[in-house]
Amino acid sequence: MFAKKTSKYTYGMQISDTEAKLVEIMNVNGQVTLTQRHSIALDRGSIKHGKFVDEDSVIGRISTLVKQIGLQGAPINVTVPLSNVVLRKSIFTSLKDKALRNMIDVELHGGQQLPFKNPVFDFVRLGAPKDEAAVSTEGVLKSSKASSQEEVLIFATPGEVVESYAHVVKQSGLVPVSVDLAPLALHRMLVRHTRVTNSAMKDRFMLLHVEPDHADISIFVDGIPVFFRSIQINTSFFLDTGTDQLAAYGRNLSMELGRVLNYFQYTVSTDQKHIELVYLVGAHDWITALPEHLESAFTGEITSFPLQSILKDEDTTCHAFAVPVGLAMKGA
């Protein structure tokens, strides 16, 4: 029975420090329908800053859910935390995929450009280099001297992080088929949104994914991610003053957002242009209430992520599952 189901159903899972979210979607004739969504709380301290402290506890929680909903053996797309991901741009000799991957592998393992060892990576070709130097968003990789060159965007994360997430998912009764990044999963949905609504994507925008204990910032320029940053949000200081949690979170996030925007405009951006739009991703009550708290840091347009136009679903609670939906769409 399950084998028949896999032809039209796909699955995505997001694991954070505090909870695991799992969704099932159905994609028929280009129409995406959210058929299942589940969220389970994880034991406090079992994951810290995206790294497993108590794998057995997490496996126990997820496996119980998997058994309850009868998804043993389901192929699933899972994300790794943005806090463990590094972006790099570099210029390489124009090569076929396998040869280019080998070249990148040599660069990443042989240099001092990454803050961790044994990286797992993927890459996107960006075409002919716009500049002579291979300037990255967080650093610089060695450039090739060859005449036929191309610019390459590299996503790297520690190999042990990818292995640990794949291991936990597998031990929970699921079959990990891909490890993806939340911003790429969300961008995948934005592309679908532009097709469904016959609209154009902004030249540069920010995805601001808010969770109770952290916020992930991703900036895209011309459809390419150029900046990632994960920020831990500590609201305890503000809560001592009697401020409610969301207001405390918004005040803290506003300060951090102002720093990021300033850093991006004057350090990362090649033309020092402003971000045009911020998409808020997260639980519906948070993404509707936060804009007023962020106005001091960002004066442009702040809007909720257009998930409902993709799902054709009026249930606003779906917003909390935007990332796992995007992950599931990788196989749809």
pLDDT tens-digit series, residues 135-146: 444 444 444 444
Is 253 in the same domain as 323?
Answer: yes
- pTM attached to this predicted model: 0.87
Report residue 301 as tokens. Answer: 């347009």
Asked if the model's pLDDT at residue 5 lies above 90, the reply is no
At 240 the pLDDT is 56
pLDDT band at 236 (very low <50, low <70, confident <90, very high): low
Boundary-marking domain end, from 124, 159, 194: 159
Indicate whether 128 and 155 sit together in one domain.
yes
pLDDT score at 139:
40
pLDDT at 111: 63
Verify that 121 and 238 share a domain, yes or no. Answer: no
Q: Are residues 222 and 325 in the same domain?
A: yes
Reduced to 3 DSSP states, what percent helix, strand and coil does the chain have, rounded to the nearest 5?
35, 35, 30
- Domain assignment present for residue 2? The answer is no
pLDDT at 105 over 80: yes
- Co-location of 202 and 290 in the same domain: yes
What is the pLDDT confidence band of residue 147, given thresholds at 50, 70 and 90? low
Which of 127, 159, 191 is where one domain is finished? 159
- Mean predicted confidence (pLDDT) in 302-316: 86
Is 247 within a domain? yes
194 domain residue, yes or no: yes
Residue 13 lies in a domain: yes
> Residue holding tokens 């708290």?
293
Asked if residue 32 has pLDDT above 50, the reply is: yes
Q: Which two tokens stand for residue 141?
A: 């990789």
Task: Enter the DSSP assignment of 141.
Answer: P
Q: Are residues 176 and 187 in the same domain?
A: no
pLDDT of residue 172: 97
| Number of structural domains the chain divides into | 3
Model pLDDT, residue 145: 47
Tell whether the model's pLDDT for residue 194 goes beyond 60.
Answer: yes
Measuring CA to CA, how many Å separate 329 from each of 241, 280, 293? 43, 20, 32
* Residue 1 resides in a domain: no
Q: Supply the pLDDT for residue 304.
A: 94
- Of 216, 97, 89, 84, nearest to 157 by C-alpha is 84
68 and 23 share a domain? yes
Report the CATH number at residue 31: 3.30.420.40
> Do 284 and 248 have their domain in common?
yes
Question: What band does 2 get if pLDDT is binned at 50, 70 and 90?
Answer: very low
Beta bridge partners of 217: 208, 229
Residues 6+ apart with CB under 8 A from 173: 62, 63, 66, 67, 71, 72, 73
Residue 217 lies in a domain: yes
Q: Would you say residue 310 has pLDDT above 80?
A: yes
- Asked whether residue 124 is domain-assigned, the answer is yes
Mean pLDDT of 300-320: 88
Angle at the Cα of 192 (from 186 to 195), degrees rounded to 5?
Answer: 145
Specify the DSSP class assigned to residue 144.
P
Domain that holds residue 298: 183-329
Q: Is the pLDDT of residue 245 over 70?
A: yes
Q: Which residue has the higher pLDDT, 230 or 331?
A: 230
Domain co-membership, 111 together with 238: no
